[in-house]
Structure formats: structure tokens, C-alpha cells
């Protein structure tokens, strides 16, 4: 209701184009998704759960053309495991969050530093963390428009992690390693990084190593732990969710670019079953890592209390955001804050935990802030 009332649904400056999007393009796209996903999973779902092909298609059509929800949610959130029509009342969908609702909620928070620090700007984020004593990877160099700025070129001879100065997730990130005993071609490295910076500014950091307790869950890449924190009614950050993530696009030897994740029990740090962000079938959850074969379900994340505390400390620094997904790496030296995402993916979070946000610890907190937003909207219109 708020999403529509605040007119965050506008996708084009002209009413005719808006109607064309909602009543032509969106239904066609939904129909294409139904045709894409049904052949992939329908037979397996019928075999395991006895749901007929017609019932699966009908459920997807209900989502798409009655609820105006992406029909992929039927398989993504495994609605076929529950009898009856899909119940989506408790879910927080990507469209509403990404298209402006979370931005409106963030604006409820005061600018504690005078301005809102852009968490997506890796350089600004790293500098702010350093100012407040939050452990983050050191920035060895910075590249923009073909020029590399570095204090000590010799430090670029170690294993490196290079990523865009501003970006989302692992898009555009690269790992530079050298075989043991082999000399590093420093000139070639500098040239590659400088060339990439013509399109997007780059930052260069040391390639961190995984803690021995998590090292078997990845190859070359860093295992990260996504911790969700939300400001409560008393203006204190609360940890509501956590999940361990392993990203295939950063692994050169893996045959997939999928993201794998497992939920973390907030009280004990114990992992649940692992799933993928792109395979939604009935057999999509496993007790072992699909790529490394390492056990996942039931094992405990080392130093979990320290990770939990770091996420809360980070949100106290960046308290001008209402909801943040923190990426924390566990290194041999302890937890390190990699980045904060002020527009985190809520859909994969709900898939990993097999629970809608409305039924989770985040539900009451989010409902409280939505009520605040509704009251402010009502006050605005009454003053007009």
C-alpha cells in the first residue's frame, strides 16, 4: 500500500508508458518466466510432492496476474511444499525494496555524520571504517582513468583482490594470484588494473585468507557471512538474520557462477542446509557444499559471537541506515568487515532461511518503521 501511495511504482515519465509497462510488458515477461521455469522443475515437483502440472501453472499465474508478483517465486520460495494457493503476505519482494521503499525508510534515520555515507562507495566506506576503528581490508592502491595511485609498488606483488570503487556484490571483482615460487609480473598487473579503471575506478586490496574453520567451503575466494541488522524502536541495531555465502563467480575452477548460502542460527552460530540462488528444485538443498563436498549442515561458525558483535558495532557507526546487510569475512586474525549493503537482497535471504520476513525477527521491526512512514505520509497530506 505504501509503495503505491508514495508513487514509487512509477517506471516512466509518461502515463501512457507507465500503463504500457504494467499492462503489456509486465504480463508478457511474467508469461515468459512461467514458460521458462515450468519445464525445468514441474516434473520433479509432481514426482516428489504430487502437485499436478496444471496446479503448478495455475499457482504461478495467480502470483503473476492476481498478486502482481514475479511467478518465479513459486519455485524460488518452494511454495509447492505447502498445499493450497501460495501465501505471500509475509514476503518482502525485491521490486518494492529496490524501487524506493527502503530508500524512504532510510530517510527516517537522522544523518548522524552530517551527510549519509554511501556504503556502496568502497573508498568512502573504508575510510569511515578506519576512522571509527572497524576492521576492514587495507587499500593498497587506487586506480582511475588509466592511472594507478600506490604508496608502495612492492606491496602489489602479493596476492590481490581488485574490485570496482562503486558496485554491487562481486560484479567486476578479480583475484590476482601467483604460483608458489614464481615471480610476479608487476608491470603486467599494474597495466591490467589501470586499463580496467578507464571504465570504472578500481581499488586494490590484499587477498585475505579464510579462517581454517571455513577454508574447505571455498577455493581461492573469500567465504563471507552476510549479517542483517535493523534499528529497533529504541534506536539500537538488532541482528535479525545471518547466512554463510560462497560465490562461484569468484572461483576460476568452479563450473558455475552460482551463489551458495546456508542459514546461521543466531544463538549458536550453527549452519543449516545449503542452497543455491539459481537452482530451485526439490533437491536443491544439501547438507554438503555442492562444489567442495565439505560438510555444512550442523557445523558451527568459528568466533560467531565476535562476528555478531562486529555487525552491531558497524550499524552503530552507520546508524543513518535503517536496515543493512553486512558482509563479514572470518580470517586467521579474526572477523573483518568487507562491506555494508544498504539495499540488500531480501528474496535470497528468505529462500535461504525458508521463512518470509514477516514471520522472522525482522518482521516486527520492519512493521514498526513502515507504521512510522505511514504516519509521516498522513501528516504530510493533512498539512497540504
Predicted confidence (pLDDT) per residue in 148-198, tens digit: 888 777 788 888 888 888 766 566 788 887 766 566 777 778 888 888 888
Q: Establish how many alpha carbons lie within 13 A of residue 358's alpha carbon, considering only the half-sphere containing its beta carbon.
A: 8
Provide the pLDDT for residue 384.
Answer: 35
Predicted confidence (pLDDT) per residue in 234-287, tens digit: 999 999 999 999 999 888 889 999 999 999 999 999 999 999 999 998 999 999
| pLDDT at position 36 over 50 | yes
| pLDDT at position 290 over 70 | yes
Provide the pLDDT for residue 19.
Answer: 79
Provide the pLDDT for residue 189.
Answer: 80
Q: Indicate the average pLDDT of the chain.
A: 89
Lowest mean pLDDT among 56-60, 180-184, 294-298, 328-332: 180-184
Lowest mean pLDDT among 99-108, 231-240, 290-299, 357-366: 99-108
Amino acid at each position: 500500500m505504501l509503495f503505491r501511495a508514495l508513487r514509487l511504482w512509477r517506471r516512466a515519465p509518461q502515463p501512457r508508458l507507465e500503463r504500457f509497462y504494467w499492462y503489456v510488458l509486465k504480463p508478457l515477461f511474467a508469461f515468459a518466466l512461467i514458460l521458462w521455469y515450468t519445464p525445468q522443475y514441474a516434473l520433479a515437483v509432481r514426482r516428489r510432492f504430487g502437485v499436478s502440472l496444471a496446479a503448478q501453472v495455475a499457482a504461478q499465474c495467480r502470483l503473476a496476474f492476481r498478486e502482481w508478483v514475479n511467478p518465479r517465486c513459486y519455485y524460488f520460495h518452494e511454495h509447492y511444499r505447502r498445499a493450497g494457493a501460495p501465501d505471500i503476505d509475509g514476503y518482502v519482494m525485491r521490486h518494492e525494496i529496490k524501487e524506493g521503499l527502503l530508500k524512504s525508510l532510510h530517510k527516517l534515520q537522522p544523518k548522524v555524520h552530517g551527510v549519509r555515507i554511501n556504503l556502496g562507495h568502497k573508498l568512502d566506506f573504508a575510510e569511515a571504517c578506519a576512522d571509527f576503528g572497524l576492521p576492514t581490508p587495507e587499500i593498497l592502491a587506487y586506480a582511475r582513468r588509466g592511472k594507478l595511485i600506490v604508496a608502495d609498488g612492492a606491496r602489489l606483488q602479493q596476492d590481490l583482490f581488485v574490485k570496482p570503487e562503486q558496485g554491487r556484490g562481486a560484479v567486476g571483482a578479480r583475484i590476482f594470484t601467483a604460483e608458489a615460487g614464481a615471480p610476479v609480473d608487476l608491470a603486467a598487473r599494474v597495466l591490467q588494473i589501470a586499463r580496467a579503471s578507464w571504465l570504472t575506478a578500481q581499488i586494490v586490496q590484499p587477498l585475505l585468507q579464510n579462517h581454517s574453520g571455513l577454508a574447505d567451503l571455498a577455493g581461492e575466494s573469500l567465504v563471507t557471512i552476510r549479517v542483517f541488522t535493523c534499528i529497533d524502536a529504541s534506536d539500537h541495531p538488532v541482528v535479525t538474520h545471518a547466512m554463510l555465502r560462497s560465490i562461484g563467480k569468484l572461483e576460476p575452477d568452479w563450473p558455475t557462477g552460482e551463489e551458495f548460502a546456508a542459514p546461521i542460527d543466531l544463538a549458536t552460530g550453527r549452519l543449516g542446509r545449503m542452497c543455491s540462488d539459481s537452482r530451485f528444485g526439490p533437491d536443491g538443498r544439501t547438507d554438503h557444499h555442492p562444489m567442495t563436498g565439505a560438510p555444512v549442515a550442523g557445523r558451527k561458525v568459528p568466533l560467531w559471537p565476535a562476528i555478531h558483535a562486529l555487525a552491531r558495532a558497524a550499524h552503530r557507526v552507520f546508524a543513518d541506515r535503517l536496515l543493512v546487510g553486512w558482509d563479514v569475512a572470518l580470517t586467521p586474525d579474526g572477523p573483518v568487515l568487507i562491506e555494508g549493503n544498504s539495499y540488500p537482497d531480501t528474496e535470497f535471504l528468505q529462500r535461504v532461511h525458508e521463512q518470509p520476513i514477516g514471520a522472522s525477527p525482522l518482521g516486527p521491526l520492519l512493521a514498526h518503521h513502515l507504521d512510522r512512514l505511514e504516519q509521516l505520509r498522513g501528516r504530510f497530506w493533512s498539512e497540504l
